Structure 1
Amino acid sequence: MTGGERTTGPAGTAYHLRPPSGWLNDPNGMVFHQGRWHVFYQHNPQAARHDRIAWGHASSEDLVRWEHHPVAFGPTEGGPDAFGCWSGVLLPTPGGAVALYTGVVDESQVSTVCLRRGDEELVRWSGPRVVAAQPGPPVRVTRDPFVWQHAGRRWALLGAGLADGTPAVLLYDAEDLADWRYADVWLRGDRADLAAAGPADVWECPQLVLLDGGTGEASLVLSLHDRGRLTQVVGVGGHVVDDDGTPRFEPSGVAVLDVGTSFYAPQVAADPDPGAWLLGWVREEDRHLDGPADGPADGPDHAGCLTLPRRVVPDDHGAHAGAVRLVLDPRVAAGLPLGPPEEVTAHQELDRPLRVEALAEGARLTHAELPEVPLAAGDLVLVDADVLEVYPAQGPPTTHRHPRPWALTVRPGRAGPAGQVVEVRAVDVSRLRPPTTPADRQVRGAPPR
């Protein structure tokens, strides 16, 4: 299943990945492994609230149909992650998979980087081992490790906030995965050339996308945490340069990667296709990270979902080196099962799973509380319950999640009948169940039915 089968209260998403119940936030541990795309994610399987976070797990053979696996691992009583197994990455190694993540020991949220070793099926995991501690002043908080190679050596980035309220990214030497060495503050948010990134006191979930190994052109993806508020996601373009064996980053410009209200904490990973694949968290504005343990009786038993898979591609119209944009993954665009074209009216609510493609100028999306979204030829709109994603032919995508539905308004006559301005098709969610057998599920770690 993709969206999940059991919900209460308002309908859940049907083709965006989420667990059947419980809380979901950041995607973690994304990897292409043994012919399947795997994603782990921040998950509370017990309640639809941010508490005692574990790593959920799902995988897909086509990026469209997702299969849920058992929870990979969760907080260890008395351990370095007793308060939560927060965001991180997964590395395939000759000795098996390695998960590296933020371990939080108590409500103070002082963190370490924890390591767990997994089996070939990514199902069974060791207990946690601390491999990096939080450095002293001026660093106030760290989280969300990212690991990559530079000049034949393994390095890691951590999102951080400094004592004076400045966001930052820290650099670690992670050549020995079991014993990281703190190197330096890699990038600070108080640089004049980064003012366009917007206000933040912590840069979360740093992700480095290398665009050209020969020139070092790269984009540093950052999620902006601003004094308790989760705001936007930006790409800082520039170059990774070598400083006597140590990587340094020279920024050249900043761009917002999604112009909606609900996109946050994306993760990127390599796979066989060009570029990098990406998933982000689709937040629910009325669901709080520190909400009550028990929601209203008629409320949903789930919170949060992931975006549809996207790809990070160079932005040919970008104004600076390392500029990137996010596009819908072609496998999803081609593989999402659709019904036949439907009759289009001048005004209709988008209140069910739909795909809308703009064929000409003259259509727009309207909402009672959110800004209007005009559509141009080639723009693609995907609607799933209260989630709306817009993928324009040019420019950044838009992600919104709101309980009130959007409406499609078409001006007939601009390019002929309304049906010539847009094409509307239902997403056939009945065809989204993954084609697996009970034996397959046992091999991949899910209990047989």
Structure 2
Amino acid sequence: MTDLALSSTLSLAATHPDPAFPRFHPRPAQGWINDPNGVSYINGRYHVFFQYNPLSARHSQIQWGHVSSPDLVHWEEHPVALSPQPGGPDSAGCWTGVVTSDDGVPTAAYSGVQDHGGHSQVVIARGSADLVAWSQDGHVAASMPVDPLVTAVRDPFIFRFNGARYAMQGAGLADGRAALLLYTVDSLDDWKYQGIWLTTADPVAGLHTPAEIWECPQLVQVPTGEWVMMFSLWLSGDDHEHANGVGHLIGSLSADPETGLPVFTPVTGGKSDLGRDFYAPQIVQLTSGSVDCAPAALLWGWANEGPGRDGRRGRAQAEIDDAGWSGVLTHPRVLSVVEGSLVVTPAPEVLAYRGAAVALGAAGSVTVPGFAEVLVRGSGGGSGSGSGSVELVLGSGPAAQVVYSDPLAAGEELRIFLDASLVEVYRTGSVATTLRAYPAPGESWELTLPTGATADVWELTLPA
């Protein structure tokens, strides 16, 4: 088998000259990254591709970068997987898409744009068994639908239902609604358009996932049987800010009695992340060893370099240019549905980064290293005990910024991961909160706990 490793991305990150550069979230040392793409588990390795501009820290000339891991802990960086082909349907960018196994052949289906500002088409590329070498011949599997109501299409996603393969794309309609388009995919080379599948005219979708275009649509089944549909909620005023963030719908999938096509019926929904620095997640459905439950679903998201907002300091474009890099992917996250609500937890594998204990059972306030895992426990309960807010503050004095502040009820737990400028907070029974913050020289992190709460703090280290 081919030697997969181009470089060990986390080992190189430990010596990166920028103190804001994450050490425990794989990405190239330089360049712009955004949406995770082609998330897959093939031939015993996890593969995560992503939108990538290796030439600058700006969003242009988008290609597909690539990292892979056997265990979600040790990551290797590989050469660029997909590049715009001069004169081809992707000459203006290889945008978001998926990777699947097509009769044993790794196959990418992605949005290709031929002209800047033009419509996207679904372009197919075939990969080697190790997913490192790719053949791009410009094959188009689906073009813009001939439908005057459909004004924008992007981001194909493939799913299976009742033994058949389907695909969907996010869309925007001329009347301002966001929409999903449905395709049958008997052959990956030729997608058959079946029409507009779901829109924000649905009252549940309109309430929980308001947008002008549903970007990066995802659809997976969680082990308890519910289907989770997730969208990135694009508005025309967005410029990598994404005020509406990411939303999801929870419902059922059934077969239309006349056509046999899948019908998604949303029941409820909500925000998929509570931070302003999270967008464009992609979910992979892993195969299950049990016939009694659906396979697990793992999610990665994109955390952009945030300008100052919500009372936090950000990085100006000039600072991003000087640093030479932009964008981070989150830890892998496990999705489940508990009592009708989406629950997001860090993949258990990331516990391998837990190193020496800094504090155990700390109360009041505790100083937290810049690379750390924190477990906060609310008090054991009882009337009048344990309620209050957990605050994570960067710096001190007039320049201090409250990066995270939220109530903690008795019996609740928070898991907080600090990785230089990336903060991920996971609350028991809820979704995550993804934030960016940039320590100035000499600044430290301070965690303040409500009465009755305690915190365990560990440094993060790279396992051998």
Q: TM-score, normalised by structure 1?
A: 0.85
Matched residue type, 2:152? V
User: Which residue among 91, 115, 120 is the counterpart of 1:106?
Assistant: 115
User: Which residue among 376, 380, 384 is the counterpart of 1:358?
Assistant: 376
Q: Is the 8 A contact 1:365 1:375 kept in 2?
A: no
1:337 maps onto 2:354 in alignment:
yes
Query: Deviations along 1:241-291, whole A, 9 cap, x unmatched?
Result: 11132111111111212111111111111235651111111122239xxxx
Map 1:19-418; keep pairs closer than 5 Å: 19-127=28-136, 128-135=138-145, 136-211=147-222, 217-229=226-238, 230=242, 231-243=244-256, 244-272=259-287, 274-286=295-307, 295-296=318-319, 299-316=322-339, 318=340, 323-333=341-351, 335-342=352-359, 344=362, 346-348=364-366, 350=368, 352-361=370-379, 364-367=390-393, 368=401, 370=403, 372-375=405-408, 377-403=412-438, 407-411=446-450, 414-415=451-452
Give the superposition deviation at 1:212: 6.4
Give the superposition deviation at 1:169: 0.7
Matched residue type, 1:364? V
Is the partner of 2:187 in helix, strand or coil? Answer: coil
Q: Is the 8 A contact 1:24 1:41 kept in 2?
A: yes
> Equivalents in 1 of 2:286, 2:205: separation in Å?
30
Q: Is the 8 A contact 1:358 1:375 kept in 2?
A: no
> Equivalents in 1 of 2:220, 2:320: separation in Å?
43
Q: Is the 8 A contact 2:22 2:422 kept in 1?
A: yes
Give the superposition deviation at 1:110: 1.1
> What is the RMSD of the two structures over their aligned residues, measured on CA atoms?
2.4
Q: Is the 8 A contact 2:354 2:458 kept in 1?
A: no
Is the partner of 1:185 in helix, strand or coil? Answer: strand
- The alignment-based identity, stated in percent, is 37
Matched residue type, 1:330? P
Is the partner of 1:11 in helix, strand or coil? Answer: coil
**Structure 1 pair 342–350 and aligned structure 2 pair: CA distance change class (3 A):** closer
> Equivalents in 2 of 1:378, 1:259: separation in Å?
16
> Equivalents in 2 of 1:358, 1:151: separation in Å?
43
Stretches of structure 2 lacking an aligned partner (at least 5 in a row) = 1-7, 289-294, 309-316, 380-385, 394-400
Query: Deviations along 1:47-78, whole A, 9 cap, x unmatched?
Result: 11111111111111221221111111211111
Query: Deviations along 1:383-438, whole A, 9 cap, x unmatched?
Result: 11111111111211111112257531135xx34xxxx711111112xx25xx6xxx
Q: Which has the higher contact order (CA 8 A, sep 6+)?
A: 1
Q: Give the aligned partner of residue 311 of structure 2.
A: none
**Structure 1 pair 402–340 and aligned structure 2 pair: CA distance change class (3 A):** closer
**Structure 1 pair 252–298 and aligned structure 2 pair: CA distance change class (3 A):** closer
Matched residue type, 2:405? E
**Structure 1 pair 297–118 and aligned structure 2 pair: CA distance change class (3 A):** closer
**Structure 1 pair 8–184 and aligned structure 2 pair: CA distance change class (3 A):** same
> Equivalents in 1 of 2:319, 2:459: separation in Å?
31
Give the superposition deviation at 1:10: 4.7
Is the partner of 1:29 in helix, strand or coil? Answer: strand
**Structure 1 pair 296–279 and aligned structure 2 pair: CA distance change class (3 A):** closer
Is the partner of 1:171 in helix, strand or coil? Answer: strand
Give the superposition deviation at 1:372: 1.5
Q: TM-score, normalised by structure 2?
A: 0.83
Query: Deviations along 1:67-108, whole A, 9 cap, x unmatched?
Result: 111111211111110111001100112251110000011112
Stretches of structure 1 lacking an aligned partner (at least 5 in a row) = 288-293, 436-449
Q: Give the aligned partner of residue 4 of structure 2.
A: none
What is the total number of aligned residue pairs between the two structures?
A: 411
> Equivalents in 1 of 2:403, 2:425: separation in Å?
14
User: Which residue among 425, 428, 443 is the counterpart of 2:458?
Assistant: 425
Give the superposition deviation at 1:240: 1.1
Matched residue type, 2:296? G
> Equivalents in 2 of 1:153, 1:222: separation in Å?
23
Give the superposition deviation at 1:341: 3.3
